[in-house]
């Protein structure tokens, strides 16, 4: 993990939050979040985070993923601030 990966993780998390807070259906939110543009990109960045997939509804799965990446993003923001 490097600083560019961290910045990209934070940006992708922000994008995910915008999707999750939008007025589209949970099914569409789920499809967008668990796509190459979001979840696959996050995994390829090599940033580890704790995520439990409840394997429930579209809403619960999406909210669990967003919560996990948001927690990690918040920690990484503090780390970046400390380095700068």
Q: Which of 12, 29, 28 is nearest to 70 (CA)?
A: 12
Distances in Å between the alpha carbon of 60 and those of 11, 14, 20, 68, 78? 22, 19, 11, 12, 27
Could you state, in order of their start, the residue ranges of all structural domains in the chain? Answer: 3-83
pLDDT at 77 > cutoff 80: yes
pLDDT at 84 > cutoff 80: no
pLDDT score, position 2: 85
pLDDT score, position 29: 97
pLDDT score, position 82: 84
What is the pTM for the complete model shown?
0.89
Q: Which helix (H) or strand (E) holds 61?
A: helix 58-83
Three-state secondary structure call for residue 54 = coil
pLDDT digits (tens, 9 = 90+) for 17-51: 999 999 999 999 999 999 999 999 999 998 999 98
Rounded to 10 degrees, what is the CA torsion of 19, 21, 25, 29?
30
């Amino acid at each position: 993990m490097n600083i560019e990966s961290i910045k990209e993780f934070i940006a992708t998390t922000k994008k995910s939050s915008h999707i999750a807070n939008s007025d589209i259906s949970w099914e569409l939110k789920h499809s967008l979040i668990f796509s190459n543009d979001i979840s696959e990109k996050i995994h390829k960045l090599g940033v580890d985070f704790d995520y439990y997939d409840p394997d429930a509804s579209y809403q619960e799965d999406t909210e669990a993923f967003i919560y996990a990446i948001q927690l990690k993003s918040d920690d990484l923001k503090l780390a970046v601030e400390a380095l700068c």
